[in-house]
Amino acid sequence: MLKVQNADVYTDFNGLGKLKAEAREQDPEALKQVAKQFESLFLNMVLKSMRQAKLDDGAMDNDQSKFYQDMYDQQLAVHLSGESGIGLANMMVKQLSPNQTQSLAQKDIVEYIKNPTQAINPADLSVHDMAKLGLLKRESTELPPVAPMAAPQLEKLMANLPDIPEPEVPGSKKAFVEQLLPLAQKAAQELGVEPKVLIAQAALETGWGRSVIKNRDGSSSYNLFNIKAGSAWDGRQ
């Protein structure tokens, strides 16, 4: 049986009139019903947009079928909002409720700015979510200092590293190719590509060796492809 007093049928004007009278008396239930009606209008717009998004009309589509389809969509929107809905009506009730407005008015202005609404209950959050929201103190990500006993081995390792000469800026395109060709041939064998491809890409990115990215101390980074370091890179930049 249809509940006419709640305007559960989109063509029912008696239910809307009763709803208007309840709204004048500031009945809390009227706010819920108005919010549901607003949600049904929103759902009707969504359904209409979905109908219009199809590529072409079907063989049975005509003015009469579209008329009944529109009636069905309007009633479906009212039905969906009358059940659990999509949460829009509940949100409107919370925002427009007189009790909610009074509780916010009693708050100190500083407290209200810091926490205007209690939207999230921390007890319902997992540890991972609380960490993302900054509700938990994050552990330090700093690496521990090198142990004193490892310092001699580190110095010995650094002393045995060969000195890599600073690359000279090629004076011509031919010099650029001759300088990189041996390195490109070795890298091409491991990558399975032609050395010419690597040299061409390096020439394009660095302007034939004239625009190689420098380190902070001014030394060459040997970055012949101008590869940018992303957030996952934790090496030297």
- Residue 224: pLDDT band (50, 70, 90) is confident
Residues 146 and 154: their CA atoms lie apart, in Å, by: 10
Going by the DSSP 8-state scheme, the letter that residue 228 receives in this structure is: P
Dump pLDDT digits (tens) for 112-145: 555 555 544 555 455 555 555 554 544 444 444 5
What's the average model confidence in pLDDT over 71-80?
83
Model confidence, pTM: 0.35
Tokens (6 digits) for 233: 């890179």
* Max intra-chain CA distance, the chain: 93
| Other beta carbons within 10 Å of 33 | 23
In angstroms, the Cα distances linking 223 to 173, 176, 206, 214, 227 are 18, 14, 9, 8, 7
What's the average model confidence in pLDDT over 144-150?
50
195 and 181 Cβ atoms separated by less than 8 Å: yes
What are the residue boundaries of the structural domains of the chain, listed by start?
A: 4-122, 167-227
Beta bridge partners of 214: 220
